[in-house]
Structure 1
Amino acid sequence: MTSPATGALNGDVTGPTSKLTSHGGFVNERENRDAGHVRAVSRATRIVTALAEHPYPLGIVELAQFVRLSPASVHRILGTLVSVGWVEQNSRTAKYRLGMHAIGIGSVGMVTNPVLHDARMYLSRLAEWSGHDAVLSTLVGVKAVQLSRVAGAHTEFIEFEPGHPQPAYAMADGKLLLSYMPYEQRRNLYENDGLRRFTPNTITDPDAMEAEFSRIQEQGYAVDNFERFDTGRGIAAPVLDADRRPIAAMLCLGKIEPDRDAEIIQQLLSLAREMSERLRAAGDLPASALDIAMPETDSGH
């Protein structure tokens, strides 16, 4: 007898089956099965994202806390992710990190993605005009991650390379992108990660952080005043899609003198708007930087 899963893979698709529930209604078994598959993919994505957010390997209990699933569920999903090469386990510590297969896929995307291809031109213009580093960033969970960077003539961040996650709430590009998030998603930042202090200017109070997000939304750009680094500050503007959701953030980073803020803000807004219009005209818009799976809880199933 052919199993439902095997039959589907072999093209043996029959009509949906239903069964009577205890409440007298009918439930479609195929719809339930499909919903379960979607939920499993969503959970696996959240686990991969959590591993990408953290610069060190994580154990099952740590991962379960970050993604709000039971350790049993996380263990099962990790087994599948390890088997396909997306995740690797350290045999000595038993902790998990992103696998080489996932890293390879990401590297291919860095070359083929239209946003990164077009961004280089705009970042080069910003770096040449300002003398400071120009960066394109996105969110990975609640961390800001550089996608592309062009060093300015006065660069101060040689070690600040693409792929290194930074606490989004302490940087202009990260704050900008977080400000577009629904509050329910930002609340996970406050409850799970907390607002750690990096400099005397880091915002560590959730209410003050929410006020900052409101200010960013009103003005259309974000500024960090030495909130992550004592040696530099940043200004960021959004690259928006047709629905005015952020695709990415364009960041000017360095020892920016406050008397240059106004002109840098105008230049950033202009370049980000020009890049948005170019992508829309090409009809090749990627998903918003905010399109991430929401946390859920489970009972170990």
Structure 2
Amino acid sequence: MNNEENALQIEPVSSVMKMFAIITALAEHKSLGITELSQIVMSSKSTVYRFLQTMKMLGFVSQEGDDDRYWLTLKLFEVSSKALEYVDLVSLTEPYMASIGEKTKEALHLGVRDGDSIIYIYKVDAQYNLRMQSRIGGRNPLYSTAIGKVLLAERSESDIRQIFEKVDFIPSTAKTHVSVDSLLEELNDVKSQGYGVDNEEQEEGLRCIAAPIYDRLGNVIAGLSVSFPTLRHSSEKFDQYVSLLQDAASSISEKLGYKK
């Protein structure tokens, strides 16, 4: 750890500290005025006012009319609920991933969408020496991953085009999609077959298969995938992996309240 990292650990960012002090104070009271808040967080009225206006613009606090009093909105609850949803999702998915990992000995990933990317929120490593290099919290493009494809497949064409409106399709291999139009063609197949495939589109010599996980409202909220080198691929294994993923994803979706 270098000196810069040590300094960052020892010296908190004062503006972030002030913001959370304001949030904590508002959480402990129904509403507060700028004068009261400035006394509680020990900052000037002008500083507190600037923070409140920024938080109001972002939707985290509300102010009725010209009243000097502010209160927290449900935006924080919304944000924390999403975090808890992922915690529940990982805990539900973990035993299924462990079971598939034991049967296939290949790498398993659980991924969710964030903008035009997927984020891996849980993984099970392959039991082979030759394995996919990935990490929890890692990102990859939606357009070149099996998980990305199942996260997109049931969205409308207009939604998909909007997601990729400002995205440059950067080919990782010769098989990577280079436009939203070619991706849309494949997504029709993904939707009808109920699984997505990355056929060496993200990394040469690596294939992935993914199945969608649904929430209680019928929205695809995550993808469950298995990744394996092409040298270990066979049509029999492919069919087995699809079945294992779809069965697990279906069971997880049911536990999340999804009904077909």
Any idea what SS the aligned residue of 2:257 has?
helix
Equivalent in the alignment of 2:89? 115
Any idea what SS the aligned residue of 1:162 has?
coil
Equivalent in the alignment of 1:93? none
Q: CA deviation at 1:244?
A: 2.4
Matched, 1:206 2:180: yes
Contact 1:170–1:228 (CA<8 Å) still a contact in 2?
A: yes
Alignment of 1:229-248 (within 5 A): 229-248=203-222
Equivalent in the alignment of 2:69? none
Contact 1:110–1:116 (CA<8 Å) still a contact in 2?
A: no
Any idea what SS the aligned residue of 1:194 has?
coil
Structure 2 vs 1, CA of residues 215 and 229 (structure 1 numbering), >3 Å: closer, same or farther? same
Any idea what SS the aligned residue of 2:122 has?
strand
Q: CA deviation at 1:242?
A: 2.7
Matched, 1:280 2:257: yes
- Decide which of 31, 55, 73 is 1:9's aligned counterpart: 31
Matched, 1:157 2:174: no
Any idea what SS the aligned residue of 1:280 has?
coil
Q: CA deviation at 1:187?
A: 1.5
Q: CA deviation at 1:38?
A: 11
Distance 1:175 1:199 in 2: 17
Contact 1:137–1:147 (CA<8 Å) still a contact in 2?
A: yes
Q: What RMSD in Å do the two structures reach over aligned CA positions?
A: 3.0
**Aligned letter for 1:116?**
V
- Decide which of 148, 158, 164 is 1:184's aligned counterpart: 158
Contact 1:138–1:144 (CA<8 Å) still a contact in 2?
A: yes
Equivalent in the alignment of 2:58? 41
Contact 2:115–2:163 (CA<8 Å) still a contact in 1?
A: no
Percent identity, please. Answer: 21
Structure 2 vs 1, CA of residues 254 and 111 (structure 1 numbering), >3 Å: closer, same or farther? same
Q: CA deviation at 1:126?
A: 1.3
Contact 1:110–1:147 (CA<8 Å) still a contact in 2?
A: no
**Aligned letter for 1:246?**
V
TM-score using structure 1 length = 0.56
Contact 1:132–1:252 (CA<8 Å) still a contact in 2?
A: yes
Q: Give the paired residue count.
A: 187
Ranked by relative contact order (alpha carbons within 8 Å, sequence separation 6 or more), the top structure is 1
Instruction: Please give the per-residue CA displacement for 1:94-133, whole angstroms capped at 9, x wherever unaligned.
Output: xxxxxxxxxxx99x94898111112111111111111110
Structure 2 vs 1, CA of residues 39 and 114 (structure 1 numbering), >3 Å: closer, same or farther? same
Distance 1:187 1:249 in 2: 20
Structure 2 vs 1, CA of residues 37 and 183 (structure 1 numbering), >3 Å: closer, same or farther? farther
Q: Which structure is larger by alpha-carbon Rg, 1 or 2?
A: 2
Contact 1:128–1:152 (CA<8 Å) still a contact in 2?
A: no
Instruction: Please give the per-residue CA displacement for 1:162-197, whole angstroms capped at 9, x wherever unaligned.
Output: 111101110000111022333333213433112111
- Decide which of 206, 221, 224 is 2:195's aligned counterpart: 221
Contact 1:111–1:117 (CA<8 Å) still a contact in 2?
A: no
Structure 2 vs 1, CA of residues 111 and 192 (structure 1 numbering), >3 Å: closer, same or farther? closer
TM-score using structure 2 length = 0.64
Runs of 5+ unmatched residues, structure 2:
1-29, 34-52, 61-78
